Structure 1
């Protein structure tokens, strides 16, 4: 389709930045301001998104809808969309397991569902995340065209819905659990007064997360989003007959930081203290 109208659900830090990239090849990118926070309104305005009053209006005007929200909200959001009989292309780009993606596809019988997974940081400041896609070929080609020549790199994995979700969670399982292990390792070392020595040891090794303990504070601030994602990944492991306990334990560890949501002022010391004394 030429110059489609796109709807974004909802413009969080990732969603707004991805939507702004889509605007390069779209007639307009819409978002529904009903019930959203002041921060969402300001973010959407900063990225040049067009507000509409209701979800019904967004769905009526949009050829393509991109769902990018916290994992726990993905299915409820799809239920809301299903109530309006949306018949365009629905990009389920949340960090959810393949079975949930299939359930969402079943919820939207009139729509064409594209399974998506974003790997990388939001596309701002020179960052170039990849949006992996799987689903019907014609629909994935439309999404590739939507992000052509933008900071979002679209990559098609095939026609099977679930592949993009599986890739996203496979990567997240390692990348996010590794950050949790850094917090535990540095916290243990600090208890015995050898945290600086631990960091020095790790710094001599290639690409060790242990050489970046300052990232623990960022992990704490993002824990409210990461914990549900690891629970989704654990469900995926269990469905494959693999042990999910490691990821469930990591999610439980992240939950100790729930009250640090999006705290950009958090320090490493603060994060470790909260981890030890929730």
Structure 2
């Protein structure tokens, strides 16, 4: 089996590694990608086909990119003449997955909806790829080895997206919430008092703020669009959604931490970013 990964970021390359471990050839497109991505792909032995026009030899294409780029990537693939199986494993809404499905279907490309839960698949049991769509079992069959678990949710496109949305709404939403709580307390002059009370009644809360700051702030630029997708999905399901609009604002304020190493993210700097007025929002 020949697969193309668009694109081998930290998550994408871990999916590629699981496919290679399962005995498949994995391609990638270096055109327009950063030197960091090129080094990552080379280290994991992905084969560079240079430009997207060369993907027609692939049996499958996996799109793993920020959700705001998902439609653009799908359109670009459709324009190449590729006619294999396409999986969108981005954190997009079910509505966006249906849009991409229709776009690809009109170009003779079959579609599988994917949703990845967990960190990059670099350890046993860490990461699950949920898939839905008529050919989702073919995606599951790809991964016979490696650290990525694949679970089928049936033939209906949108199921994998809905599960990913629900999961991300809690994990990333909760991180945004607790950071803003601590930021408000800091600005009101009661941060130390809050930490003391948390130590008595919510012993995990302070640690959660530290984890949220160090792990999520460098990825906040990607989470903005994901929060918007979550808000849209909640609204369409008749559930209150404005909380995730606020979470999008939280991550928008943290976007300057993009690519900062986790160990260099300081909780005080994160809180200051949340406190300062943001006239663009």
CA positional deviation for 1:46: 1.8
2:217·2:251 contact (CA, 8 Å) conserved in 1?
A: yes
CA positional deviation for 1:219: 2.1
Q: How far, CA to CA, are the matches of 1:66 and 1:127 in structure 2?
A: 21
Q: How far, CA to CA, are the matches of 1:60 and 1:205 in structure 2?
A: 58
Partner of 1:12: 9
Q: Answer yes or no: is 1:145 the counterpart of 2:144.
A: no
| 1:180-238 CA distance string (max 9 Å, x none) | 11111111222344434434544566784543221213222111011110100111112
Q: Which of 46, 51, 54 matches 2:48?
A: 51
Q: Answer yes or no: is 1:251 the counterpart of 2:248.
A: yes
Q: Which of 159, 162, 176 matches 1:163?
A: 159
2:187·2:275 contact (CA, 8 Å) conserved in 1?
A: no
CA positional deviation for 1:116: 0.3
1:221·1:261 contact (CA, 8 Å) conserved in 2?
A: yes
Q: Which of 51, 56, 61 matches 2:57?
A: 61
1:20 aligned counterpart, secondary structure: helix
Partner of 2:133: 135
CA positional deviation for 1:253: 1.6
Q: Which of 87, 112, 135 matches 1:114?
A: 112
Q: How far, CA to CA, are the matches of 1:205 and 1:26 in structure 2?
A: 51
Q: How far, CA to CA, are the matches of 1:206 and 1:245 in structure 2?
A: 26
1:6·1:26 contact (CA, 8 Å) conserved in 2?
A: no
Q: Answer yes or no: is 1:188 the counterpart of 2:184.
A: yes
More off after superposition, 94-103 vs 205-214:
205-214
| 1:135-181 CA distance string (max 9 Å, x none) | 11xx2222112112321110001110000001001110111010011
2:147 aligned counterpart, secondary structure: coil
| 1:25-81 CA distance string (max 9 Å, x none) | 243100001111111101111222111121111x21211110000110000100001
Partner of 1:123: 121
RMSD over aligned Cα atoms: 1.8
Aligned residues between the structures: 272
Q: How far, CA to CA, are the matches of 1:228 and 1:148 in structure 2?
A: 32
Partner of 2:216: 219
1:15·1:68 contact (CA, 8 Å) conserved in 2?
A: yes
1:217·1:268 contact (CA, 8 Å) conserved in 2?
A: yes
> For the structure 1 residues 161 and 185, does the alpha-carbon distance in structure 2 shift closer, same or farther, using more than 3 Å as the test?
same
Q: Answer yes or no: is 1:97 the counterpart of 2:97.
A: no
> For the structure 1 residues 203 and 146, does the alpha-carbon distance in structure 2 shift closer, same or farther, using more than 3 Å as the test?
farther
Q: Answer yes or no: is 1:266 the counterpart of 2:265.
A: yes
> For the structure 1 residues 166 and 204, does the alpha-carbon distance in structure 2 shift closer, same or farther, using more than 3 Å as the test?
farther
Q: Which of 30, 33, 37 matches 1:33?
A: 30
1:134·1:158 contact (CA, 8 Å) conserved in 2?
A: yes
Q: Answer yes or no: is 1:73 the counterpart of 2:69.
A: yes
Q: How far, CA to CA, are the matches of 1:26 and 1:101 in structure 2?
A: 29
More off after superposition, 245-254 vs 142-151:
142-151
